[in-house]
C-alpha cells in the first residue's frame, strides 16, 4: 500500500536532507531506543504516532532497528490498552467512545502489516492475531459505532479509512470474511455511499462540514488517504494477497 519505488526513493533522498518530515520521523523513531513511549495517550494516539514514524524511518533507511520499533507499537496497538505490555486491549479496544478508537488502531496496524509482512518478528501468529483484532473492531463499529454509513461524519471518515486499509492489507489471507469485507468496502461504502456523498448536491459537495469546521481537516485527510490507498494499490500478479483495488473506481 502506497509505498512504491518512487516514494521510497524520495524518502531515502529526503532522509539525508536537513530538516523535513522524513528526517523528523527518523529522529522520533530513533528516540524510541533511548526513551520509553509506553503510554498509549488518547486511545492509542501515541503508539500510532510512533508506529507511523518508525514505518517511514524504516522505508527511508532500511534500518532493521526501525522495523523492530514499528513492530513494538504494532503489537501494542493490537494487544494493549494504556501501557505497553498490559494485555488489556485486544478485541474490545476498538469499542471505546462509540468506536472512535478504530481510527487510531486499525489503519496504521494495517499499514504495518502490509509493509512489514515478511519482516523478522512479523510471524504468522502475529498476523493472524491482527486479523482477528481487525474483524472484532470492524464488527463492533458496524454494529454499534457512531454513524457507520453516514458520510460527512468524522466517525464515518475514521471507519472508512480503517475498513479500506484493513481490506487491502489482509488481501486473501482472511478467507471468506476478508472477501466479504472487500466487497463491503468497494461495492457499498465507496461505490454507493461515497459516490452519492461526492456527487453534485451530495453531503460532501460544496466544502461545508455539517458537524462544524473543527471536525473537517482530519476527516477530509482520512477520506483522501483512504481514496489514495484504494486507487494506488495494484494487483500483484501471482500474489495470494492480491486485491483488485481498481474496482473502487
| Rounded average pLDDT over 146-158 | 95
Instruction: Identify the residue whose cell numbers are 461515497.
Output: 194
* Segment 70-76 mean pLDDT: 97
* CB contact set of 164 (below 8 Å; sequence gap of 6+): 185, 189, 190, 226, 229, 230
Average pLDDT over the chain, rounded to an integer: 90
Q: According to the model, what pLDDT value does residue 233 have?
A: 67
The pLDDT value recorded for residue 208 is 84
pLDDT of 162 strictly over 60 = yes
Q: In this structure, how many other beta carbons lie within 10 angstroms of the beta carbon of residue 185?
A: 25
Model confidence at 33, pLDDT cuts 50, 70, 90, reads low
Residue 246 confidence (pLDDT) = 36
Is residue 236 predicted with pLDDT exceeding 50?
Answer: no
Per-residue pLDDT tens digits for 117-135:
999 999 999 999 999 999 9
The answer on pLDDT for 234 being more than 80 is: no
> pLDDT class for 34, splitting at 50, 70, 90?
low
The pLDDT of residue 231 is 85
Task: Tell me: pLDDT of 52 over 80.
Answer: yes
**Taking residues 210-234, what's their average pLDDT?**
89
Q: What value does the mean pLDDT take over residues 215-240? A: 77
Comparison of pLDDT for 33 and 23, the residue scoring more: 23
Write down the pLDDT at residue 28: 93
Average pLDDT over residues 70-79: 97
Q: Is the pLDDT of residue 239 over 50?
A: no
Q: How confident is the model at residue 244 (pLDDT cuts 50, 70, 90)?
A: very low
Amino acid at each position: 500500500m502506497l509505498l512504491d519505488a518512487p516514494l521510497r526513493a524520495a524518502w531515502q533522498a529526503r532522509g539525508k536532507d536537513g530538516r523535513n518530515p522524513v528526517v523528523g520521523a527518523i529522529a522520533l523513531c530513533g528516540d524510541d531506543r533511548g526513551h520509553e513511549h509506553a503510554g498509549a495517550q488518547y486511545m492509542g494516539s501515541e503508539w500510532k504516532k510512533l508506529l507511523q514514524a518508525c514505518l517511514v524511518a524504516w522505508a527511508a533507511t532500511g534500518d532493521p532497528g526501525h522495523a523492530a520499533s514499528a513492530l513494538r507499537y504494532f503489537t501494542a496497538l493490537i494487544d494493549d490498552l494504556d501501557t505497553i505490555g498490559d494485555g488489556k486491549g485486544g478485541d474490545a479496544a476498538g469499542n471505546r467512545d462509540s468506536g472512535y478508537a478504530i481510527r487510531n488502531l486499525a489503519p496504521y496496524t494495517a499499514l504495518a502489516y502490509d509493509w512489514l509482512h515478511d519482516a523478522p518478528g512479523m510471524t504468522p501468529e502475529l498476523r493472524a492475531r491482527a486479523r482477528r483484532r481487525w474483524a472484532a473492531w470492524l464488527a463492533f463499529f458496524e454494529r454499534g459505532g457512531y454513524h457507520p454509513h453516514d458520510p460527512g461524519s468524522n466517525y464515518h471518515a475514521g471507519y472508512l479509512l480503517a475498513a479500506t486499509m484493513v481490506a487491502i492489507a489482509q488481501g486473501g489471507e482472511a478467507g471468506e470474511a476478508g472477501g466479504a469485507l472487500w466487497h463491503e468496502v468497494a461495492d457499498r461504502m465507496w461505490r454507493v455511499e461515497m459516490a452519492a456523498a461526492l456527487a453534485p448536491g451530495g453531503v460532501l459537495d460544496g466544502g461545508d462540514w455539517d458537524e462544524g469546521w473543527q471536525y473537517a481537516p482530519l476527516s477530509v485527510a482520512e477520506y483522501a488517504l483512504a481514496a489514495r490507498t484504494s486507487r494506488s494499490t495494484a494487483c500483484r500478479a501471482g500474489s495470494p494477497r492480491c486485491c483488485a483495488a481498481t474496482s473502487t473506481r
